[in-house]
Amino acid sequence: MLPLASLLPALRTVPFVRDLALHGDRPAVVTADGEISYADLARRVADCAARLGTTRRLVLVVGANTVDSLVAYLGALYGGHPVLLVPGGNTAALTALVEAYDPDVVLGPADGWAVDERRTDTAHDLHPDLALLLSTSGSTGSPKLVRLSAANLQANAEAIVEYLGIRETDRAVTSLPLHYCYGLSVVHSHLARGAALVLTDLSVADACFWDLLRAARGTSLAGVPYTFDLLDRVGFAEMDLPHLRYVTQAGGRLAPERVRHYAELGRRGGWDLFVMYGQTEATARMAYLPPDLAVHHPQAIGVPVPGGAFRLAPVPDHPDPAVGELLYTGPNVMLGYAETPADLALGRSVDELRTGDLARRGPAGLYEIVGRRSRFAKILGLRIDPQRVEALLSRHGVAATCVGGDDELVVAVVGEADARTVRRLVADEVGLPPRAVRVLVLAELPRLASGKPDLAGLRALAAAPPATAAPALPAQRGLARSAQPTDTATTDAAGGVPAAGTSVDDLCRLYAEVLDRDDVRPELSFVDLGGDSLSYVEMSVRLEQELGHLPANWHTLPIAALRAPQRPRGRRRSLETSVALRAAAIVLIVGSHIPLFTVTGGAHLLLGVAGFNFARFQLTSAGRRDRLRQIGASLARIVLPTMAWIGAVMLFNDQYRVSTLLLVHSLFGPDDARTEWHFWFVEAVVYLLVGLAALVALRRVDRLERRHPFALPMGLTVLGLLGRYDVFGLDARYDLPAALVAGWLFTLGWAAARADGVGQRLLVTVAAAVTVPGFFGQPAREALIVAGFALLVWLPTVPSLGVVNRVAGVLAGSSLYIYLTHWQVYPHLRDWPLVALAASLALGIAYAVVVGRVGRVVAAALRPGDFRCARERHGPQVDKLHL
């Protein structure tokens, strides 16, 4: 029991924080690790407040979407301490704000979560109403802060609860950063109602985000305009989210056609779209558009939130008299700004908020933003509205951000936009000569961590000399919060955190080299950049060499989130398990065929590994059509090199038949053939991919897989066992292809990739241990396959050495090509088995190099045409399956 003195500050704190315990055992926080009840959260918050003491102090909290950060933030509020909330993963911003405001206590990550008491009392004169300080400029570390009171926080939370109709049973996923006022408002409003937060730092571009949302029965999702770009990429329209009740949008203008699209999508999917408008200066929200009006009024911000009011102040120099500057009043309007520690003693200095936005009120009483007063630029004597230019280009299908310079308008565009066309469009629209319009074609528009346009970053980019402008592009920051590491090392220019000895820029260059991409940025992951199972091999080996370890699920982590601990020379190396199995299996296959030794089972183990990689690289969070494109691309990259090699061999001898060339020998080939069985494995993988593509093409099956990612492959494994045990006696009569007889190994590998938790891993292991024995009648062969499955399920990596990693990477990456070509090598060298093995591996590796170079030439020929546009329209995960 806490002493009464420690509870007294809570009497003047935010009511929804003070009253957490009143919600009892209802879930307050849901994470991938479990649930935290309101009673438990209240205890943790009270403990944190007790540790901070009763002397009211300025407490800096490093904001992150973690339980520790949430408890620290609420604990400081509970104790009545003013909180300075700063972005996590941005050491420069943290350092700048610490230097500017000299907080008494710093709560943040440091070998876990640390309390840095810089003094036992306070160095500041803190106004009694002051509760929260938020930056006005996202994550830049600007000393200009918004001063908010406990009344502000409570009033805005209650207003949001009312117009969203938040229920106690709701579960909101934290799709936005905690330090961002929009993301923070989601936390406040749900805690005020006694609803739950699904707490995660994953990006919506990560498949694991959607797995968590489904598992946690999430009911709401919040996003800024850039979030909706990501939703398009990951196939949100085709996702099955049975518990989703509503989606909210704020943080910038979403184009009317996008609003209408998502409103109609919500109608079909059974959820509502709330378009909202707000500013940090109003705690968060000022207006919302009722969902039933979104389709017919997609350009509007709607009506004031409960308790708030708008008025339009005349703008003398604006040509439309109906347009005025939007002014807002309400209990959520800030106390005022702070620019120095002395300002923390100030009380209310603002009663009416001048938003700086130009608006009009429509006939239906809905407000519409038509421009930004403070963004107007005067160029060559003409008054230019950059937002009007952006809207113009949007109507032409060009995403753009504009800023005014001293004597020119800078227009940043993305995609395949032609700079001359853009310049002419803009010049004609605003009346400027073309020479006064400078167009920058970028890989992506500069954005703050909140997803808003980074106007300061664009100005800096435009001002940079040509020699340095290009390298500055990686500094663009997308709304992928998982790209914000919590390391406290010095940040680099990209806003990421350099690893010990390896900077984010170094990693970006490595990704660009391995993936042959020129658009690598710190916030993107391997999967975002179109990585596949072949490049996965090389990248995993090279990353392990750079980082000294392989983080779990590294291929889904943003580059900026990859960190390497300081390790001494001679540090222990590791190798990704699927890479190790591919390398070992191909050596066992070739060596047993020579025979240098007899250790069989490698091909059937590779069938399981192929299923494992199918789940990771084909069944991404992309939409159903994109998944089909990915599977089609995989088929092409398996079939074309195979047919090319078989066709080349047929030019020189009669070893193979047309049925072999067309990969249909197991269906139509003669029974007495002696060599056509060489490619049974390739045929099996191709048939399985074709069959699974047909399944995924069915909307219901696609939804079933997303909803039950583990149960579906296990169910298919049960069906596959009908062929394994020949339940209907068909194999004896028709000589079934290997895809039907051994396909259950592929689906079991798929299940191994989806296994989450000890129970599911045990189920896959037991399934392998029970069903593999007896398949061949060769205990050693069967033991090899079972052991391989056990490694896949239980060990993401295996101990290794640097030189072993390099060799394994080459072998695994070339495994398909070694398999194809070794039949033409070892028969001529049987008398020298070691030489036969080396020659077989060498020829396969050489063929892999040739295929890779041809692939790059073809890709280069298609870029920047249809192929690149397809990637941008349908997402980056155009992938392939390799052995």
Buried b (16+ CB within 10 A) or exposed e, 281-291: bbbbbbbbbeb
| CA 256 – CA 262 distance, rounded (Å) | 10
How many angstroms separate the Cα of 362 from the Cα of each of 236, 299, 388, 797? 32, 11, 19, 61
How many angstroms separate the Cα of 240 from the Cα of each of 200, 243, 583, 624? 20, 9, 37, 11
> Residue 496 gets which letter from DSSP?
S
Tokens of 138: 């996202």
Binned at pLDDT 50, 70 and 90, residue 430 comes out as confident
Amino acid at 784: L
User: Residue 221's beta-bridge partner residues?
Assistant: 247
Element (H, E) at 105: strand 105-109
Q: CA triplet 812, 816, 821: central angle to 5 degrees?
A: 120
Residues with Cβ within 8 Å of residue 428, at least 6 apart in sequence: none
Q: Which residue has the tokens 């805005």?
A: 156
751 within 8 A of 714, measured Cβ to Cβ: yes
Phi, psi of 370 (to 5 degrees): -115, -5
| CA 293 – CA 428 distance, rounded (Å) | 34
| CA 300 – CA 310 distance, rounded (Å) | 14
pLDDT at 381 over 80: no
SS3 800: strand
| CA 154 – CA 376 distance, rounded (Å) | 35
| pLDDT attached to residue 122 | 95
Cα of 309 vs its chain's centroid, Å: 37
Binned at pLDDT 50, 70 and 90, residue 111 comes out as low
pLDDT in tens, 300-353: 999 999 999 999 999 886 778 899 999 999 999 999 999 999 999 999 999 999
Cis omega (within 30 of 0) for bond into 595? yes
Binned at pLDDT 50, 70 and 90, residue 406 comes out as low
Q: Which is nearest to 57 in space by CA: 95, 100, 5, 105?
A: 105
pLDDT at 382 over 70: no
Point out the least confidently predicted range of 139-143, 420-424, 821-825: 139-143
| CA 52 – CA 6 distance, rounded (Å) | 9
| CA 877 – CA 530 distance, rounded (Å) | 5
SS3 285: strand
pLDDT in tens, 145-163: 999 999 999 999 999 999 9
SS3 353: strand
Q: Tell how strand 573-576 and strand 130-135 pair up.
A: unpaired
Tokens of 617: 């690289």
CATH class label, 4-368: alpha beta
| CA 739 – CA 681 distance, rounded (Å) | 8
SS3 221: strand
HSE-CB for 160 with a 13 A CA cutoff? 33
Buried b (16+ CB within 10 A) or exposed e, 441-463: ebebbbbbbbbbbbbebbeebbe
pLDDT in tens, 682-729: 999 999 999 999 998 998 898 888 888 899 999 999 999 999 988 888
Instruction: List, as one string, the DSSP characters of 149-164.
Output: EHHHHHHHHHHHHHHH
Q: Which residue has the tokens 């002696």?
A: 674
User: Residue 802: exposed, middle, or buried by beta-carbon count in 10 A (0-12, 13-18, 19+)?
Assistant: middle
| pLDDT attached to residue 492 | 30
| pLDDT attached to residue 868 | 34
Q: Which is nearest to 753 in space by CA: 307, 238, 207?
A: 207
355: alpha, beta or left, given left = phi > 0 and alpha = psi -120 to 50? Answer: alpha
219 within 8 A of 247, measured Cβ to Cβ: no
| pLDDT attached to residue 3 | 43
| CA 262 – CA 328 distance, rounded (Å) | 28
Q: How high is the mean pLDDT of the chain?
A: 84
SS3 82: coil
234 within 8 A of 621, measured Cβ to Cβ: yes
| CA 631 – CA 670 distance, rounded (Å) | 30
| pLDDT attached to residue 710 | 93
SS3 569: coil
How many angstroms separate the Cα of 160 from the Cα of each of 167, 303, 528? 12, 13, 34
Tokens of 683: 């045929």
Tokens of 837: 């093995």
| pLDDT attached to residue 271 | 96
Cis omega (within 30 of 0) for bond into 713? no
Binned at pLDDT 50, 70 and 90, residue 672 comes out as low
Q: Tell how strand 171-173 and strand 196-198 pair up.
A: parallel
Point out the least confidently predicted range of 8-17, 341-350, 430-439: 8-17
For residue 850, count other CB atoms closer than 10 A to its CB. 12
Q: Tell how strand 196-198 and strand 27-31 pair up.
A: parallel
Share of the chain above pLDDT 90, in %: 53
Which of residues 27 and 627 earns the better pLDDT score? 27
pLDDT in tens, 49-87: 999 999 999 999 999 999 999 999 999 999 999 999 998
70 within 8 A of 29, measured Cβ to Cβ: yes
134 within 8 A of 181, measured Cβ to Cβ: yes
How many angstroms separate the Cα of 776 from the Cα of each of 580, 737, 779, 782, 783? 24, 16, 8, 7, 11
| pLDDT attached to residue 467 | 39
Tokens of 574: 């590791």
HSE-CB for 675 with a 13 A CA cutoff? 16
Tokens of 545: 């060499």
Element (H, E) at 390: helix 386-395
One of 1.10.230.10, 2.60.40.10, 1.10.1200.10, 2.40.50.140 is the CATH number of 481-571, namely 1.10.1200.10
Q: Which is nearest to 176 in space by CA: 154, 200, 212, 206?
A: 200
| pLDDT attached to residue 533 | 64
Amino acid at 262: Y
pLDDT at 874 over 90: no
| CA 315 – CA 322 distance, rounded (Å) | 10
191 within 8 A of 16, measured Cβ to Cβ: yes
Please give the span between the terminal C-alpha atoms of the chain, in angstroms, as a whole number: 61
| CA 442 – CA 402 distance, rounded (Å) | 13
792 within 8 A of 608, measured Cβ to Cβ: yes
Answering whether pTM is above 0.85, one says no
Do domains 378-462+470-475 and 481-571 share one topology? The answer is: no
Binned at pLDDT 50, 70 and 90, residue 99 comes out as very high
| CA 529 – CA 205 distance, rounded (Å) | 12
Tokens of 491: 């940040």
One of 3.30.300.30, 3.30.1950.10, 1.10.1740.10, 3.40.50.720 is the CATH number of 378-462+470-475, namely 3.30.300.30
| CA 181 – CA 145 distance, rounded (Å) | 12
Tokens of 108: 């943040």
| pLDDT attached to residue 771 | 95
User: Residue 115's beta-bridge partner residues?
Assistant: 107
| pLDDT attached to residue 360 | 95
Q: Which sequence spans correspond to the domains of the chain?
A: 4-368, 378-462+470-475, 481-571, 577-874
Break the chain down into helix, strand, coil percent, rounded to 5.
50, 15, 35
Q: Which is nearest to 484 in space by CA: 183, 724, 778?
A: 183
Point out the least confidently predicted range of 216-230, 621-635, 681-695, 788-802: 621-635
